[in-house]
Structure 1
Amino acid sequence: MQTLLEMRDITKTFPGVKALDTVNLSVRQGEIHAIVGENGAGKSTLMKVLSGVYPAGDYEGQIYYDGDIAEFRDISESEARGIIIIHQELALVPLLSIAENLFLGNEVASKGVMQWQETFQRTEGLLRKVGLRESPGTLVDSLGVGKQQLVEIAKALSKEVRLLILDEPTAALSESDSQALLDLILELKAQGVTSIIISHKLNEVRRVADTVTVIRDGTTVSTIDARAEPVTEDRIVRDMVGRDMAHRYPDRQRRAGEMLMEIKDWNVWHPEHAERQVITDVNLSVRAGEVVGIAGLMGAGRTELAMSVFGRSYGRNISGTVEMHGKPVDTSSVTKAIEAGLAYVTEDRKSLGLILEETIRKNVSLANLEGVSSNGVLDENRETEVAEKYRKAMNIRTPGVFQKVMNLSGGNQQKVVLSKWLFSGPEVLILDEPTRGIDVGAKFEIYGIINELSAEGKGVVMISSEMPELLGMCDRIYVMNEGAFVGELTAEEASQERIMSLIVTDE
């Protein structure tokens, strides 16, 4: 099979950091090539070198594309050669139509006048190719994330893509949307499109990849040909983190103590559609030292439950009681929920959990400014001491606490969010998708932090779409479907099959 892309001895240095160190990558025409590695390993940096975000001359090494040396000065030059990159944060304009997004910057025009009929016809053809039935005039803002991802791929097809690069394409998708996207990538392969996929989801990598390249600490560790040898998750994990991870979840003593929190008869209605009940008669309890999971499919109401309990951040006409140590508490605002001993680590750390433009120092103190103030005046030295304490305790990999959070990897950003809430001194932490979008090494560290919290007598409520994670970490698991709890399982009773059977047999 002919080689389409070869990157030789690519080295990229930032001030004080060597992000890539003589990385080599060879991609064959018509294959799906997966690149895996921990956060901060250099995967995205390598793709930015390839696509011209970091232009020729800004790195060392050579890129050969379609047999010729390639020296791209910007993205437009790489796109002109059929190299299209789709980033994890989608680059669509929400208030423009699908058609306008597909041809933005590449408009179908004659003498400066848009040719709308041709634009819509071409859009319809592209949408059919990616399996979308929406009208070309549909606003992107009205689409779910899964369909927006397909619009991005249709946009790539409009540019006559030869090499499609997808950075964490299924990170924010449901199971069904993820499967549909992977099926499309396989279909594009059959049509001759070569793909590079960056992903943390090793089961998906094993399903679609012809070749897997592992990058660790900015260096190529291994390249596995899936057609010549078996690709196991254990092998990939070992190469990614440099050690065996036979135990994906750290061991801990299961010791449930006194009752910490009880949620009783909790009901929530939709904030905009007053007739729609989102949460129905939910009862939940958490004991000291206990990790309690909430399992369910996307849309089951897990996040809505968490947000409605934490300061009534979601919903209307909320009824029910929250008790701490057997006594009712007021959680009707975020401030009151924090005072009652609750903390909520949101699933959307970038939009809702952090101020990305600010430093680690300022983010860590956000939920407890009183803890770094004296007589209403912020003590910056105290703020720095606190942030430094959590940087060390959480092993946040950064030169210092004055680093902007936006420059950290996903795993380190998540540790900053956890630090922020731990500094507020909670008794119960609600963790919503705590390991979403982070690699296996960082996941293991987050699991260790959760175990330490339970050992200290904290209560943890863990919402996760990854059933193995719930099974590996939780003492009890509530199963949720359509806004109600449909089952409760102990760690000994729980299995993926049992959880799914509770969901699908619920009347």
Structure 2
Amino acid sequence: MTEGARLSDGAVPVLAARGVSRLFGPNQVLFDVDFDLRPGEVHALIGENGAGKSTLMKILSGYLAPSFGGVEADGRPTVFASHREAEAQGVVLIHQEFNLAMPLTVEENIFLGRELRRGPFLRAAEMQEECRRLLARLDCDVDPRLRCRDLSAPERQMVEIAKALGRDARVLIMDEPTAVLTARETDLLLAQIDRLRAAGTAILYTSHKLDEVARIADRVTVLRDGARVASRPAAGFTEHAMAEAMVGRELSDLFPPKAAPQDEVVLSVRDLDVPGHARGASFELRRGEVLGFAGLVGAGRTELMEGLAGLRPASGEIRLFGRSVRPDDPRAMREAGLVYLTEDRKEKGLLLGFPLAENLTLLALEKFTRAGLRIDKPAEARALAQAVEDFAIAARDLRMTAGGLSGGNQQKLLLAKTLLAEPGVVIIDEPTRGVDIGAKAQIYAFIAALAAAGKSVIVVSSELPEVIGLAGRVIVMHRGRIAGALEGDAATENAIVRLAMGLDEKEPEPA
């Protein structure tokens, strides 16, 4: 048990949910949930996508009202009329989805709504200095004058965290704060959480990364299908036991058996350059193979794949199914049999405000048009019903928008959308980012089934157990170049990390 947990034993909860239920129309997503946060502790809230975690966090932070039950602050019933009222009482939520005004600067975002003024004038120098101080606490050297739209996803997350730190929260609610962070950035954040806990801040922490939960939490509460199924001290609660509590069943081997690829080379890449990101990349992909790409953030993996798919300017020699192709048009590459499933499903993969059917058929729209003019809505509806069944997409209403799905179900919809184009080669970038353990197992099974059916798959992942568990071969990139390829038992985490850091880099050769 941590010092924070000892200090908080017996303390009056600083924030609590008492018998909270929540309905959205006829659909109930929370059922009589009790949850509390004590001063100076980290209380982890875990569960599968769709279990109700985000809804409970939004109720506790004033973004939603409970349908039944209530919220207590410092042991007394309270009603937050809005999130601003909750923030005024020291309760701050760091959203999983970025809640930044992208056209504004880092400084403007951090002080938005609470600008420092001297009369009618902004105290710009003071705000900039305070902004730098908050970012320095996270070892983040982003220029406060940069616009948030020009930042990387990890940098935006650090700005979100700095923004919350600047509000001197008594309660900090963190929704998947490390989903887009590197290992080093994650370590810095967890160290900051330790400091906040020692200072008496109560922290609600949710993450699909159960190793983080085991590392940082004092207590763990598990939600399943909107109900609390477990709540206990973190000490002795193993990652495996957490995962089983989340899904309600025994989780045996997470990764399915690897199918042996065929001899036929379906994709041959020679000296592919993506200006500013990747140089001289050469590799081959065989029919029925799952090929992994690993490397540190910034190594050029995503940019290389986007160049190969025609989404970025690129040059080099590419042969796809025996034909020479030019990667200068994503539609042409798709028609040639190669598709790319983006790492950023919310900004680049799905139209969150559009219905599920329209998202599903977007890449294969020609299959659902009559005389090239009108969408065949019944055919589109049948395709959606089939995709929901085939990919186990949990949707409360097939007429809902994609933004209403949980993260794991959005990822499965994106996978279904991509495969509806019937590609022979599928590039999947970060297949399970922000996805719970149950959905991960399903997605891994889908990938293995694709390979077994003769499709060829490239998996780009920052999670080393994932890339090792799925791929028969792993290509490792370092600073825009292929540093080496590992196969079979040689593909260990240690060997991949050494190549990714340039410690064992060999002369580039066809991988």
Scaled by the length of structure 1, the TM-score of the pair is 0.92
Unaligned runs of 5+ in 1: 271-277
SS of 2:483's equivalent in the other structure is strand
Provide the secondary structure at the position in 2 that maps to 1:322: strand
What SS does the aligned partner of 2:409 have? helix
1:22 to 24, 28, 32: 32
Q: Does 1:502 align with 2:499?
A: yes
Contact 2:300 2:477 in 1 (8 A): yes
Match of 1:13 in 2: 23
CA contact (8 A) 1:234 1:246 kept: no
Aligned twin of 1:370: 366
**Contact 2:265–2:284 (CA<8 Å) still a contact in 1?**
yes
Deviation sequence 1:458-494 (CA, Å, 0-9, x none)? 0000000001011111111111111111111112221
Asked whether 1:36 is paired with 2:46, we answer yes
Give 1:63-78 correspondences, 5 Å limit: 63-78=71-86
Q: For structure 2, list consecutive stretches of 5 or more residues without a partner in the other structure.
A: 1-7, 506-511
For residues 473 and 347 of structure 1, the distance between their equivalents in structure 2, rounded to whole angstroms, comes to 17
Match of 2:404 in 1: 407
Shift of 1:121: 5.1
The alignment status of 1:418 with 2:428, answered yes or no, reads no
SS in 1 for 2:240: helix
Further displaced range: 425-434 or 251-260: 251-260
Q: Residue 411 of structure 1: CA displacement?
A: 1.1
User: For 2:345 and 2:381, how far apart are their aligned partners in 1?
Assistant: 22
2:489 alignment counterpart: 492
State how far apart, in whole Å, the 1-side matches of 2:150 and 2:323 are: 43
CA distance in 2, matches of 1:189, 1:419: 42
1:480 aligns to what SS in structure 2? Answer: strand
Contact 1:200-1:438 at 8 Å conserved across structures: yes
Q: 1:122 to 1:492 in 2, by over 3 A?
A: closer
Q: How far apart are the structure 2 equivalents of 1:137 and 1:374?
A: 51
- The superposition leaves residues 249-299 of structure 1 with CA deviations (integer Å, 9 ceiling, x where unpaired) of 1234334342211112212213xxxxxxx2222112111111110111111
The 3 A distance-change label for structure 1 pair 492 and 128 is: closer
1:297 aligns with 2:328: no
Q: 1:493 to 1:126 in 2, by over 3 A?
A: closer
Q: 2:451 aligns with which of 442, 451, 454?
A: 454
Q: Does residue 381 in structure 1 map to residue 391 in structure 2? A: no
User: Which whole-Å CA distance do the structure 2 matches of 1:60 and 1:92 have between them?
Assistant: 31
Equivalent residue for 1:470?
Answer: 467
Equivalent residue number for residue 156 of structure 1: 164
Give, in angstroms, the shift of residue 243 of structure 1.
1.2
Deviation at 1:238, TM superposition (A): 0.6
The residue correspondences of 1:182-193 to structure 2 (distance < 5 A) are 182-193=190-201
Distance 1:382 1:222 in 2: 43
Q: Which amino acid aligns with 1:253?
A: A
Q: 1:208 to 1:265 in 2, by over 3 A?
A: same
- 1:97 to partner: Cα distance: 3.5
TM-superposed CA distance for 1:123, in Å, is 4.0
Alignment of 1:257-336 (within 5 A): 257-270=263-276, 278-311=277-310, 313-315=311-313, 318-336=314-332
- TM-score, normalised relative to structure 2: 0.92
Match of 2:55 among 45, 54, 69: 45
Q: Of 92, 106, 111, which residue of structure 2 is paired with 1:103?
A: 111
- 3-state DSSP of counterpart to 2:180: coil
Q: Which amino acid aligns with 2:437?
A: V
Give 1:140 deviation, angstroms.
4.0
One-letter code aligned to 1:264: R
Aligned AA for 1:245? L
Q: 1:250 aligns with which of 247, 256, 269?
A: 256
Deviation at 1:395, TM superposition (A): 1.4
Indicate conservation of the 8 Å contact 1:257/1:289, yes or no: no
How far off is 1:120 after superposition?
4.2
Distance 1:148 1:371, change over 3 A: closer
Aligned-partner SS, 2:243: helix
Aligned ranges 1:351-362 → 2 under 5 Å: 351-362=347-358
1:427/1:99 CA distance change after superposition, 3 Å: closer
Percent identical residues: 39
Matched, 1:433 2:433: no
Q: Hey, what does 1:275 align to over in structure 2? A: none
Match of 2:101 among 90, 93, 97: 93
What secondary structure, in the 3-state scheme, does the structure 2 residue paired with 1:176 have? helix
* CA contact 1:146–1:178 (8 Å) conserved in 2: no
For the 8 Å contact 1:292–1:474, the answer to whether it is kept is yes
Judge conservation of contact 1:102–1:155 (CA < 8 Å) in 2: yes
CA contact (8 A) 1:330 1:340 kept: no
One-letter code of the match for 2:428? L
State whether residues 289 and 453 of structure 1, in contact with CA within 8 Å, keep that contact through their aligned partners in structure 2: yes
Superposed CA offset, 1:321-373 (max 9, x none)? 21123331343211110111001100011111111111111111111111112
In 2, are the aligned partners of 1:234 and 1:244 still within 8 Å (CA)? no
Q: Which residue of structure 1 aligns with residue 509 of structure 2?
A: none
Matches of 1:106 and 1:150, distance apart in 2: 19
In structure 1, what is the equivalent of residue 4 of structure 2?
A: none
Structure-to-structure mapping, 1:66-145, within 5 angstroms: 66-120=74-128, 122-132=130-140, 136-145=144-153
Greater Cα shift, 293-302 or 401-410: 401-410
Partner Cα distance (1:293, 1:279) in 2: 17
SS at match of 2:331: helix
Residues in 2 aligned to 1:370 and 1:402: alpha-carbon distance in whole angstroms: 22
* Contact kept? 2:259, 2:451, Cα under 8 Å: no
Change (3 A) 1:114 1:484: closer
Tell me how far apart the structure 2 counterparts of residues 137 and 287 of structure 1 sit (CA, whole Å).
47
Structure 1 residues 324 and 120, CA gap change in structure 2 (3 angstroms)? closer
> Is contact 2:291–2:474 with CA below 8 Å preserved after alignment?
yes
> What corresponds to 2:3 in structure 1?
none
SS of equivalent residue, structure 1 residue 500: helix
Name the CA distance, whole Å, in 2 between partners of 1:332 and 1:354: 22
* CA 46–399 in structure 1, closer or farther in 2 if over 3 Å, else same: closer
Q: Distance in 1 between matches of 2:136 and 2:280?
A: 43
- In 1, Cα distance between the equivalents of 2:18 and 2:484? 54
2:498 and 2:134 mapped to 1: Cα distance?
38
Residue identity opposite 1:44 in structure 2: S
Q: What is the deviation of 1:67? A: 2.0
* Distance verdict in 2 for CA 1:132–1:471, change over 3 Å: closer
Instruction: Specify whether residues 132 and 395 from structure 1 end up closer, same or farther in structure 2 by C-alpha distance, changes over 3 A only.
Output: closer
Q: Distance in 2 between matches of 1:370 and 1:133?
A: 47
Structure 2 CA distance for aligned equivalents of residues 438 and 314 of structure 1: 27
